[in-house]
């Protein structure tokens, strides 16, 4: 029979050994995990502009099509511009900005609890001779976070494409926001009305046809996914709203 002291010592050594192995594995895998997250982010940005990519060619296509990364503030001023592998202005890449974290910064700033202003990333894409403006979005669904990217055409009004993702929405219901069928509803919708006022794009319960929403500013909600659909509506409005001041400035240049 082994003594209690021996058993305790043996168990302690095994725990320390296993912990060391797991820590080493985590450190070794971290670069690969970070690269996977980066590639997925790149593919989502490209997909909103209808540029298909693979894990092998995503970075190459990003460099080819995303010609400028712009970081703007609440006033619509450019704080940082990254183009062709170097900075034209500032020293922060839009790609490296955490949109979720900036929402918290904005909340604190608007509540007067902080003087730090939020910043908003924008990706300028060149595709087939056209210029597209891609806005990353982040919001809340029924069971957790939702996110996406929406690409606007050169008129800074018409949607070229949109992509959505979620962490834990219900399959067959809220999770349908990430399907091609739902994303395609946004094609050619507009975010400004005829008077130049920002109206966003609403995800309408019961369908646009049976509502008072102009068809150019609305899409049909997911059947049975009301809360998630509302979350998408809020996300689009809150996210694009951050860029309205900037769009109005560059439209006049």
pLDDT in tens, 63-97: 999 999 999 999 999 999 999 899 999 999 999 99
Q: What local confidence, expressed as pLDDT, does residue 27 receive?
A: 65
Instruction: Please state, in angstroms and rounded to a whole number, the distance separating the CA atoms of residues 234 and 201.
Output: 9
Buried b / exposed e over 16-42, threshold 16 CB at 10 Å, is eeeeeeeeeeeeeeeeeeeeeeebebb
Q: What is the mean pLDDT of residues 1-6?
A: 61
78-83 and 130-140 beta bridge pairing: unpaired
CB 217 within 8 A of CB 191: yes
Condensed to tens digits (0 to 9), the pLDDT of residues 215-251 reads 999 999 988 888 999 999 999 999 999 999 999 999 8
Q: What local confidence, expressed as pLDDT, does residue 2 receive?
A: 57
For the sheet containing 159-166, what is the strand order?
A: 86-89, 78-83, 66-72, 120-127, 130-140, 145-152, 159-166
DSSP 8-state code for residue 186: T
Whether residue 180 is predicted with pLDDT greater than 80 in this model: the reply is yes
Residue 159: helix, strand or coil by DSSP? strand
**Torsion angles phi and psi, residue 192, rounded to 5:** -115, 145
**More confidently predicted of 18 and 87:** 87
If one counts every other C-beta atom within 10 angstroms of the C-beta of residue 90, the result is 15
Among candidate residues 215, 99, 103, 101, the one with its CA nearest the CA of residue 165: 99
Q: What local confidence, expressed as pLDDT, does residue 139 receive?
A: 93
Among candidate residues 44, 105, 106, the one with its CA nearest the CA of residue 241: 106
Q: What is the mean pLDDT of residues 100-117?
A: 93
Read off the pTM: 0.86
Whether residue 173 is predicted with pLDDT greater than 50 in this model: the reply is yes
Residue 46: helix, strand or coil by DSSP? helix
Q: What is the mean pLDDT of residues 121-142?
A: 95
Q: What local confidence, expressed as pLDDT, does residue 241 receive?
A: 95
pLDDT band at residue 253 under the 50/70/90 scheme:
very low
Instruction: Please state, in angstroms and rounded to a whole number, the distance separating the CA atoms of residues 247 and 253.
Output: 10
């Amino acid at each position: 029979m082994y003594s209690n002291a021996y058993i305790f010592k043996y168990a302690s050594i095994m725990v320390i050994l296993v912990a060391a192995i797991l820590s080493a594995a985590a450190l070794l895998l971290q670069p690969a995990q970070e690269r996977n997250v980066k590639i997925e982010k790149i593919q989502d940005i490209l997909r909103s502009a209808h540029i298909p990519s693979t894990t092998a060619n995503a970075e190459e296509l990003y460099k080819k099509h995303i010609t400028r990364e712009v970081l703007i503030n609440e006033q619509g001023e450019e704080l940082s511009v990254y183009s062709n592998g170097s900075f034209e202005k500032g020293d922060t890449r839009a790609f490296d900005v955490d949109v979720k974290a900036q929402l918290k910064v904005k909340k604190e700033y608007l509540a007067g609890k902080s003087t730090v202003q939020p910043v908003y990333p924008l990706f300028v894409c060149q595709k087939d001779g056209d210029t597209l403006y891609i806005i990353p979005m982040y919001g809340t669904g029924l069971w957790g976070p939702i996110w996406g990217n929406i690409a606007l055409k050169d008129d800074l009004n018409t949607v070229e494409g949109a992509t959505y993702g979620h962490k834990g929405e219900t399959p067959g219901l809220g999770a349908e926001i990430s399907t091609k069928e739902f994303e395609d509803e946004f094609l050619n919708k507009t975010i400004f009305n005829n008077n130049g006022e920002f109206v966003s794009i609403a995800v309408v319960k019961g369908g646009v046809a049976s509502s008072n929403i102009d068809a150019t500013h609305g899409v049909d909600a997911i059947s049975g996914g009301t809360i998630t659909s509302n979350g998408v509506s809020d996300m689009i409005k809150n996210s694009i709203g951050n860029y309205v001041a900037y769009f109005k400035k560059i439209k006049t240049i």
